[in-house]
Chains A and B, each alone.
Chain A
Amino acid sequence: MTAARMPEPDDRKSARIAEAHLAPQAGSRVIGRFALSREVLRSPKVRQAGAHAEATDLSNPDEVSFFFLDGEAHRKRRAAVAGLFAPRTIVTRHHAVMQRTMDELVARLREGKPLPLDDLSFQMAVDVTAEIVGLTNSDSNRALARRVKAVLDSSLVRRPGWLGTLIFNARMLLRVGRFYRKDLAPAIAARRRQPREDVISFMIGENYSRKGMIMECLSYGGAGMMTTREFIVMAAWHLFTSAPLRERFLAGDEAGQSAILEEILRLEPVASMLHRRAAEGEPGLMAQGEVLCLSIREANVDEAITGPCPFRLDPDRAKRMKVAGPYMSFGDGPHRCPGAQVALHESRIFLDRMLRLPGIRLVAEPTILWNDFIQGYELRGALVACDPA
């Protein structure tokens, strides 16, 4: 008689919906091994693909977001703003924004009514990104968050056919125009008078066009605001539903808390795949012109790099395996997420302050949805509440 095999522990909350919806670009070759994914992403022979990269007109780089650039032009632009994302800048400058936002969110929570967790996490993500980009001259930070959300969320809903395109374009024009008038234009005017250390000041110095500035701000917005909103909710969900994990988080120092968040992110990467086109062939790796789909979800559970039980949430794993904690969740190579450390810091501060509130509880669990555009999960409907002050 054969002994029954114990099912492998699986702590992932987003695995099922990802398996049901993941859609690599047609004709692409999926790569799931961590080492191979890293080799592709670090190769100077690949170019951005997927997420409309191939439809982007690169003839005028000054009107193209850094997200779609490659090679020298991309590295130059990234290097110019490297200081905004440096660990020292995060601690000496961005922490103050994070704490100020948390003061405001805590005050709202202490009124005692249940509040949507994704609204709270979005406000944190908007405030921090706005500081880095330089969107700090709006009428209010909550109004800025609403306008950014209107643009970014509407960019994901596009019905097929000419009527759908017409409606989409008209709606986007209105919403982008509102964002420009109320948020970007005042920020540009203020920085023309007095430059600061932020992305908008850099763009003014480089004579970006209006279109170029809008594209860049929205790229930072999409990357810095939407993904962090989802991750904070996901991490909170794990921490609310596992008392030992929550206790360890609250008892941990900064490194210990970060290790927990990175391990959650390994299991629940917000973006699930990246695409690259091989501009040149590389024997044994890729053929010229081939489109490669790098599966972040698969790479993050590759036992060659995770060790045994890859689906189990184990905050000690990365240190034991001597690997950078988030594994492939922020990508790799020249396009690795510039705001990775910022996102981890704001998530840690948000969760630490929220989970220490008296009587804090998850009133309603989130519904997990799928976003086809970023090929990632969205968590909606989670409500949190604490004891009133």
Chain B
Amino acid sequence: MVRITFIDAGGTRREIAAREGLSLMENAVAQGIEAIAAVCGGNCYCGTCRVHLTPEWFERLGPPGDYEGPVIDASGDAHPCARLACQLPVTEALEGLVVETPASQS
């Protein structure tokens, strides 16, 4: 299990024990993180599983992929370190990851 912390727009923190082999989105949905909507079920289409990383974590995990970037742009999310949780596979390298979720995924 990998410890990951979600902080919602109101500042509430919640730590989850995430399963390796699943995406960050799948772990978040399975553990009831309501700020992750994921209406397309993890197909990198809807942009409703956005998370905001710190610059350090963003550098470690890399920028959005070729198809992920346009989806984030289309969502209007201007955060410089935004990623889609469905495109982040959980591995032990994510131990201690802290992400913020936007006030709205729409």
Contacts and interface: CB of A to CB of B under 8 A. Distances in A.
B39 A89 contact: no
Interface of B: 29-30, 32, 38-41, 43, 45-48, 66-67, 70-71, 73-76, 105-106
Q: How large is the interface on A (under 10, 10 to 19, 20 to 34, 35 or more residues)?
A: 20 to 34
Nearest to B28: A322
Instruction: Label chain B's interface by main secondary structure.
Output: loop
Given A87-B106, A88-B106, A79 B41 contact: no
A91 interface: yes
Contacts of B30: 322
3 interchain residue pairs of minimum CB distance:
A83-B74, A86-B74, A324-B41
Given A79-B66, A82-B74, A87 B43 contact: no
Interface string A325-346: 1000000111010101100000
B43 A88 contact: no
Instruction: Label chain A's interface by main secondary structure.
Output: helix
Contacts of B70: 79-80, 82-83
A328 to B, nearest CB: 9
Contacts, number: 60
Contacts of B66: 75, 79
A334 B47 CA distance: 14
A89 B74 contact: yes
A324 B45 contact: no
B106 A332 contact: no
Nearest to B77: A88
A206 to B, nearest CB: 15
B34 to A, nearest CB: 10
A79 B32 CA distance: 29
Given A86-B74, A87-B105, A336 B67 contact: no
A268 B92 CA distance: 41
Interface string A80-121: 101101111101000000000000000000000000000000
14 contacts: A75-B66, A83-B73, A86-B76, A87-B46, A87-B48, A88-B106, A322-B32, A324-B38, A324-B40, A325-B39, A332-B41, A336-B40, A340-B39, A341-B40
Interface in A336-358: 336, 338, 340-341
Contacts of A336: 40-41, 43, 45
Given A80-B70, A341-B46, 8 more contacts: A82-B70, A85-B45, A86-B46, A87-B47, A87-B75, A88-B75, A332-B41, A341-B39
A322 B76 contact: no
Nearest to A330: B40
B67 A75 contact: yes
B45 A338 contact: yes
A88 B47 CA distance: 10
A151 B103 CA distance: 44
A80 B47 CA distance: 14
Contacts of A325: 39
A332 B43 contact: yes
Contacts of B48: 87
A204 B47 CA distance: 26
Nearest to A328: B41
B40 A340 contact: yes
A340 B29 CA distance: 20
Contact of B67 (A79, A87, A91): A79
Contacts of A80: 70
A83 B45 CA distance: 10
Contacts of B46: 86-87, 341
A79 B47 CA distance: 12
B24 to A, nearest CB: 15
Contacts of B76: 86, 88
A89 B43 CA distance: 18
A94 B80 CA distance: 27
A82 B39 contact: no
B71 A86 contact: yes
Contact of B39 (A91, A324, A338): A324
B35 to A, nearest CB: 13
A323 B105 CA distance: 17
A21 B9 CA distance: 50
Contacts of B75: 86-88
Contacts of B67: 75, 78-79
Contacts of B71: 79, 82, 86
A16 B74 CA distance: 41
Interface in A8-45: 42
